[in-house]
Chain A
Amino acid sequence: MSATTTLAAERSFSDLWDFSTTADLLGYDFVQHALLAMALLGLVGGLLGPLIVARQMSFAVHGASELSVTGAAAALLAGFSVNLGGVIGAVVAAAVFGWMGNKARERDSVIGVVMAFGLGIGVLFLALYGRIGTGFALLTGQVVSVGVQGLVAIAITAAIVVAVLAVIYRPLLFASTDPRVAQARGVPVRTLSVVFAIVMGLACAQGVQIIGALLVMSLLITPGAAAARITANPVRALVLSVVFAEVAAIGGLLLSLAPKLPVSVFVTIISFVIYVACRIVGSRRVYRTR
């Protein structure tokens, strides 16, 4: 069994360079849908990443994603839209994390506690449903089966993210990086925290549908974290984060086509390589600034 798996993997990796297969596959509707979905998810993740990193909400992203799976499992059992269930699970969880504000230390343990409980409930729902396949798909994603409905969902999410950020970006950056003075100047710090968390929850929910709960962080956090290593200019960080996220999202999908491996594998690898490169470049830069 394991020997066969190894052989399969070897063959798959040699297919990486089989560009004619990739080109053929790009002609299919479902592949084009997947490509568009990844591009939109990359945009969303790239835009949110630097703020998530500045607000130290990485763990909240993970928590919201896991609870999105719980919501999706509940929807599966109750017989309504899995996507909607995932959105509700992620948004409720994220709103609670956001309401807890910017105090990372307090929030940390609560997310852990809530996430563990939520996952347990999610497993229960899947067990009651009787088929574990869909639940597993939510953990590793299913971008090639995103379909028109999924595409509409991520497009709406992207529109909401862009619109909300266009309104709240400036006070949110203030509240995220200088909370005491922001509060003194009358910025509604707590409200912004909840609004941002809800938007982040929406993004997590679509990320779960597309690349899976386990790998959402590679598009929502890693690009932003990578950008933060090489610049402290918030605008430049935002632009770089979007570029990194798009390279990982689109590049990951393209590379996954020929070897028929899960998209998530390549998205995470590209994302991580970019991060490591930024750390190396960034460590020299910070040293010089001192």
Chain B
Amino acid sequence: MTPGPVSAQRGGRPVVTFSAARLAFGDRVLWDGLDLAIEPGEFVAVLGPNGSGKTSFLRVLLGQYALRSGTVETTEAVGYIPQQHADDADPMAIRGRDLVGFGVDGNRWGLGLRGRARRRELVDRALDAVDARHYADAPLGVLSGGEQQRLRVAQAVVSEPDLLLCDEPLASLDPTNQHVVVDLIDRRRREAGTAVVFVTHEINPILPYVDRVLYLVGGRFRIGTPEQVMTTETLSELYGSDVEVLRVNGRLVVIGGEDAHHCVAPETPGSRPA
């Protein structure tokens, strides 16, 4: 889709609005009765165990899945940051610079010869913003996971999105690179008022930035601030089993629940999930 108006021009209207939304595949209901408005500049974390519909939530926002009932309205200007992993495609066939260039106009027909100068300028600026200029001409396949994810941020941001959809972009990165990537995403949010929807298994690296959490478990969900949702009471109710949430040195540790593995502190004895 074409780069849309910058968020300032939206006049503070929500970038995403779900009303009584229901998503189901056959008899399996992923979520129902979802009312949610995401404001410009808001950082929403989407959490939940595998198969709870986190990725499907993103696919609805991308227009790839249709709701069973209810409505969803989203901005046209969407950037997408995927998980870093090897595609079935050849990572030696393009440079980092080409990946970012796809974000400018990769979805348009034609050869794009006329827009070359403008594309190059936009790409260079986006590369500078994520400090990736010095490795932008190397084949993608020789870059580290952290280097690739910085390019992914540049690729998503170069199209001036009002909404950034992040599908576990930190998975398989080390803590230092996780911090670098989250910081880049947050900087875009602060500077341009871009809303962020961040699907993740692990809330701790993004905890300082999160405004609201959408927590999905087996057809049920809770929406609220991390303080409201990430509590022993709320998660126990959501999972329908005993879940304990601890705060240790500013980190959240969830014990119990189907997906306990994602934030169990390794030193906690007897808490390994079955």
Contacts and interface: CB of A to CB of B under 8 A. Distances in A.
Interface string A54-80: 111000000000000000000000000
A93 to B, nearest CB: 20
A237 B95 CA distance: 12
Given A170-B112, A180-B82, A228 B92 contact: yes
B19 to A, nearest CB: 23
A179 B89 contact: yes
B98 A177 contact: yes
B140 interface: yes
B94 A232 contact: yes
Given A171-B108, A232-B140, A53 B90 contact: yes
Contacts, number: 116
A284 interface: no
Contact of B93 (A171, A177, A181, A182): A177
Interface residues of A, number: 37
A131 interface: no
Chain A interface main SS type: helix
Nearest to B141: A232
Contacts of B63: 186
A177 B82 contact: no
Nearest to B76: A186
A50 B99 CA distance: 16
8 contacts: A54-B94, A169-B110, A170-B105, A177-B99, A179-B88, A186-B63, A233-B95, A289-B142
Contacts of A180: 82, 87
B25 interface: no
Contacts of A178: 87, 89, 94, 99, 102, 106
A167 B109 contact: yes
Interface in B18-74: 62-64
A257 B29 CA distance: 70
A104 B88 contact: yes
A132 interface: no
B94 A184 contact: no
B196 to A, nearest CB: 15
Interface of A: 50, 53-56, 102-105, 166-171, 173-174, 176-187, 228, 232-234, 237, 286, 289-290
Task: Identify which of B82, B94, B95 gathers the most chain A CB atoms within 10 Å of its CB.
Answer: B94
B142 A182 contact: no
B241 to A, nearest CB: 34
B248 interface: no
Contact-residue size bin, chain B (C-beta under 8 Å from the other chain): 35 or more
A177 B88 contact: no
A174 B102 contact: yes
A55 B90 CA distance: 7
A133 B146 CA distance: 58
Contacts of A50: 93
A106 to B, nearest CB: 9
B139 A105 contact: no
A180 B107 CA distance: 13
Nearest to A166: B111
A55 B94 CA distance: 12
A187 B107 contact: yes
B93 A185 contact: no
A234 B109 contact: no
Contact of A187 (B95, B106, B110): B106
B80 interface: yes
Interface string B82-126: 100001111111110011001101111111100000000000000
Nearest to B83: A180
A169 to B, nearest CB: 6
Given A55-B89, A182-B106, A184-B80, 13 more contacts: A53-B90, A54-B93, A167-B110, A178-B87, A178-B89, A180-B82, A181-B103, A184-B62, A184-B165, A232-B139, A232-B140, A234-B94, A286-B142
A50 B98 CA distance: 15
Given A166-B110, A286-B142, A185 B92 contact: no
